[in-house]
Amino acid sequence: MTTETLHDLRGDQPRFQGLEAGHRACQGCGQALAARLTLEAAGPDVVLANATGCLEVFTTAWPDSAWRVPWLHSLFANAASVAAGMEAALKMQGRDVKVIALAGDGGTFDIGFQALSGMLERGHNVLFVCYDNEGYMNTGVQRSSSTPHAAATTTSPAGVARIGKRHLKKDILSIVAAHHIPYAATASVAYPTDLRKKVRRAIQVDGPSFLQVHAPCPLGWGHGGELSIEVARLAVQTGLFPLIELERDVLIGAMPIRRVRGIKDYLRPQGRFRHLFADDPRAREELAHLQALADHNIEVYGLRGDRPDTLDSEGADTVHRGGRHFA
Amino acid sequence: MPIMTPGAFAYPGTSLDFRTGSWRTARPVYQVRPSPCHAACPAGENPRDYLARMAEANPRAAWETLVAFNPLPAITGRVCEHPCESACNRGQFDAAIAIHNVERWLGDEAVRAAWDYPLPAPAAEAPEVAVVGAGPAGLSCAYHLLRLGIRATVIDRLPEAGGTLRTALPCYRLPREVLDAEIGRLLAAGIPFVGRTRLGQHVSLAELSQDYAAVFLAPGRQQPRRWDVDGRTPKDLHPALTLLQDWVALDAVPAIHSALIVGGGNSAIDMARVLARTGAEVHLVTHDAMPGPGVSRDVAMKAAPRDIDQAIEEGVTIHVEHGIRRLILRGEKVVGVELVRLKKLLRGDGRYEVVPFEGTETVLHVDQVIPAVGQVVDADGMGSLLSENGFFAAGEDMRLPGRDAIYAGGDARERAWGTVSGAVGDGRKAALALHAHLSGRRYETGPAPRPMAIADLNLNYFERAPRAEETLLPPGLRQGCAEIAAGLSPEKVGAEAQRCFSCGDCLACDNCWTLCPDQAVLKSRAPLAEGARYHIDYDYCKGCGLCAHECPAGYIVMEAESRPAGRQQGP
């Protein structure tokens, strides 16, 4: 196929491609996929405020931009504040354009946390999307408050004194939902249809809405780039990353898990959990701990499906000839 | 050159200047790979491809895809033991696709809608081949020759075409109207048929060789194989083949109180069922085992499992893994047999040996023993061409060794499939080889490629769905030519086609397009030049392999990048 036809074909894709090729994300990047899927559903009439992080760095290597929508980066901490300002300005101009703030888990759980809280409290009409890759991957895989318990990072190494991160993954969704906002949900790149449905829902909401998207990082998690979807899917199917929706801090939806997998299926492909498979009593304890956390999620959110459902963990990604499923 | 803007902002999508494809060490390639159903089909059909057309609600394209290999789908859809379904990967997931019923419906629909066989009219100067035998092998050969632009004339000793399909297949499995309609349409599509012409009597092989560019011999196996027990046979011995032919032609069955059929093939089962319908007590004894999961094809009964089940429903008692040790005769008439348990055991040299077990003998009283132990070729007119064991020693290309322009196939071949679909496949291979021969090329067949295994698919993307089962006539109502299997409704046929995993070919599910993190997969609204719906833009593909891993159908393979890693040109 000639360069011209390829160029024409790229310009004629039957979807909105808000994030273009040529960005510098690693092979198999979950975040790059999550960002494109988000914009596909959010459509062209959006403006973006991006916190510092992988997404900001790999999409905008000077003087290029991979974005096809207005995009602004200011600081690590202030994506929510910038988005709030953009929303206020657009409102003053009488323009009906949705503002989306994008941040990684560092820009959401830690560094951007107070700005996020303030934006939610002031009730801005902003969708805040957190691409949760569970660590500071851009700067060399440091732990964040989103890094799961027992995962190894460069600042929570598995060694003699400790066996990966000592603390638990912060329950950011509950904290965000406690702001009594109209819509807060989790999604995963392994379930694109579910993810896009939640983006559309969050865009329709008048007022602040929040999405936490589980986005594997092959570099930081230590798995092959080809396994990003597989790993994300297993996070859902083990119960470690429940896909839930909250309205005004009330649980209104959860993706049922048809076949609950043991957590080892999820942990084993990932280098950051390799130490948990050593012949070590502490490793066995941590495995039991992680299993208990998964079981707890399943119980608290009522995730165990009682019968096959087209929207459960096995049915939601079913494909059909002709691609109607992803239409 | 970087574009400097007043506010130092970047224009949208300018990252396209940066070709991330140079990072790649392996490239994903769309590659059609062989499906297990295709690899298993003796006729060479590719059910995956016609199921795809059917799933797209295009039955005519499905039928044309099908008849590119097998011109007799209404017939094989009914009588083939469908090894495609045994090989179907879906069988290890929930239940195999009911391929035979899709095939049958397409064949019937083509007859109903009078779709023309896609056959070009042969050129006036096209060479002509003589085909001896108008059974499935001969008809298939003539049809495929015509597809390849070679004319063919079919001769047969009987007045009507059909061969074994007509003389020995019971009408409750293959209704005459279906047989007549499909074969009639095939002949009408441009195949001259000359009946009542027996080789060696009305025409000689030498004459055929002189008058035609080549000859294809497909006489089938029309003589019952000799049968005895330690050299003894009952006086009133009737081989099953003869009785079946009489029943098919004259609707005549001898009055028998109780009978023992010897053999485990389709003729044995058909004979048993025909007799059981007259109210006789019918037993069947075979060295083979009951087919089932884990039972090797080498030791299992050759009859189709479906027909074995129906025979049991109709009251036939089957003694598998038993043999006849002795005939019990009163004078020259049989009054019983001594049976013994035995097993086919694999020996060190890779051959099976029949081992009877002492102390397991039983006596069964019957007043007829009917052998159905196979047939041999009627050597009339071509005796010199048969090998020592009485069959044609044709090679993979169906050519007789040492003969330039004489080919042979179907049941008359050594190591024949012994099935209709096998004969259809032989006819097709012979046509391809004849075409190569007549155009002065070598006929090449590569090694059989490894079919897609279930482990090559990504099963996360499929849901369990029940197989559509056809209704069967209850045993009490099975009389005369009433067809037992009802087939499927068009809705159910469509649903079956939708269940296909599409092993090794594009399902057009959009997974690669949706899941590529680098927007390196482009989708086309119309099929691209290569026939695909998606195209990988290697300027940007980083080679992560995610698309290949997540392809439900195993249609994407990763190939090592051959070029040395190029230095990325900076901005």
Judged against a pLDDT cut of 90, whether residue B183 lies above it is answered with: yes
Top-level class of domain A15-316 = alpha beta
With respect to residue B245, please indicate whether it lies within any of the assigned structural domains.
yes
Positive or negative, the Cα torsion across B235, B241, B245, B247?
Answer: positive
pLDDT band at B320 (very low <50, low <70, confident <90, very high): very high
Positive or negative, the Cα torsion across A227, A231, A234, A236?
Answer: negative
A113-131 burial, b at 16+ Cβ within 10 Å, e below that, comes to bebbeebbeeebbbbbbbb
Per-residue confidence (pLDDT) for residue B176, from 0 to 100:
95
- Between chain A and chain B, the number of residue pairs with CB atoms below 8 A apart is 168
Claim to verify: residue B66 and residue B183 sit in the same structural domain: no
Better-scored residue on pLDDT, B370 or B379? B370
Per-residue confidence (pLDDT) for residue B528, from 0 to 100:
67
With respect to residue B493, please indicate whether it lies within any of the assigned structural domains.
yes
Contacts of B18 in chain A (CB under 8 A): 22, 24, 61, 64
Claim to verify: residue B140 and residue B200 sit in the same structural domain: yes
Claim to verify: residue B325 and residue B422 sit in the same structural domain: no
| Contact between chains at A229 and B549 (C-beta distance less than 8 A) | yes
Q: Locate the chain A residue with the closest alpha carbon to B23.
A: A27
Share of chain A above pLDDT 70, in %: 98
The answer to whether A207 faces chain B, any CB pair under 8 Å, is no
Per-residue confidence (pLDDT) for residue B549, from 0 to 100:
97
Q: CA-CA distance, B348 to B29, in Å (whole number)?
A: 44
Contacts of B561 in chain A (CB under 8 A): none
Could you say which of A10, A20, A218 has the minimum Cβ distance to residue B15? A20
Per-residue confidence (pLDDT) for residue B248, from 0 to 100:
85
Claim to verify: residue B418 and residue B548 sit in the same structural domain: no
Claim to verify: residue B150 and residue B250 sit in the same structural domain: no
Domain boundary among B354, B373, B392: B373
Claim to verify: residue B307 and residue B398 sit in the same structural domain: no
Could you say which of A37, A65, A228 has the minimum Cβ distance to residue B10? A65
Claim to verify: residue B303 and residue B393 sit in the same structural domain: no
Q: CA-CA distance, A107 to A115, in Å (whole number)?
A: 9
| Contact between chains at A13 and B23 (C-beta distance less than 8 A) | no
Q: Any alpha helices (H) in B266-403, and if so which ranges?
A: 266-277, 305-313
pLDDT band at B563 (very low <50, low <70, confident <90, very high): low
Domain count for chain B? 4
Per-residue confidence (pLDDT) for residue B529, from 0 to 100:
59
Q: Give first-to-last CA distance, chain A, whole Å.
A: 26
Contacts of B23 in chain A (CB under 8 A): 27
Token reading at A299 = 């119980």
Instruction: Bin B11: left if φ > 0, else alpha if -120 < ψ < 50, else beta.
Output: beta
* Strand, helix or coil for residue A232: helix
A residues 241-260 near B, CB within 8 Å? none
What count of Cα atoms within 13 Å lies in the side-chain half-sphere of residue B124? 0
Q: Locate the chain B residue with the closest alpha carbon to A17.
A: B519
Smallest CA–CA distance, residue B28 to chain A, in Å, is: 11
Please report, for the domain that includes residue B488, its CATH number. Answer: 1.10.1060.10
The model's pLDDT over B81-109, given as tens digits with 9 standing for 90+, comes to 899 999 999 999 999 999 999 999 999 99
The answer to whether A8 faces chain B, any CB pair under 8 Å, is no
Judged against a pLDDT cut of 70, whether residue A327 lies above it is answered with: no
One-letter identity of residue B113: A
With respect to residue B20, please indicate whether it lies within any of the assigned structural domains.
yes
Bridge partners (DSSP) listed for residue B30: B556
The model's pLDDT over A185-237, given as tens digits with 9 standing for 90+, comes to 999 999 999 999 999 999 999 999 999 999 999 999 999 999 999 999 999 99
| Contact between chains at B509 and A326 (C-beta distance less than 8 A) | yes
What count of Cα atoms within 13 Å lies in the side-chain half-sphere of residue A322? 8
Cα distances (angstroms) measured from residue B36 to each of B63, B77, B89, B96? 20, 18, 7, 11
Per-residue confidence (pLDDT) for residue B531, from 0 to 100:
62
Domain encompassing residue B481: 36-117+453-499
**Low-confidence winner among B45-54, B294-303, B548-557 (lowest mean pLDDT):** B294-303
Contacts of A228 in chain B (CB under 8 A): 517, 544, 546
Q: CA-CA distance, B370 to B269, in Å (whole number)?
A: 12
Per-residue confidence (pLDDT) for residue B569, from 0 to 100:
45
Find out whether B343 and B350 touch, Cβ atoms under 8 Å: no
Q: CA-CA distance, B72 to B76, in Å (whole number)?
A: 6
The model's pLDDT over B406-417, given as tens digits with 9 standing for 90+, comes to 999 999 999 888
Find out whether A19 and A67 touch, Cβ atoms under 8 Å: yes
The model's pLDDT over B35-44, given as tens digits with 9 standing for 90+, comes to 999 999 999 9
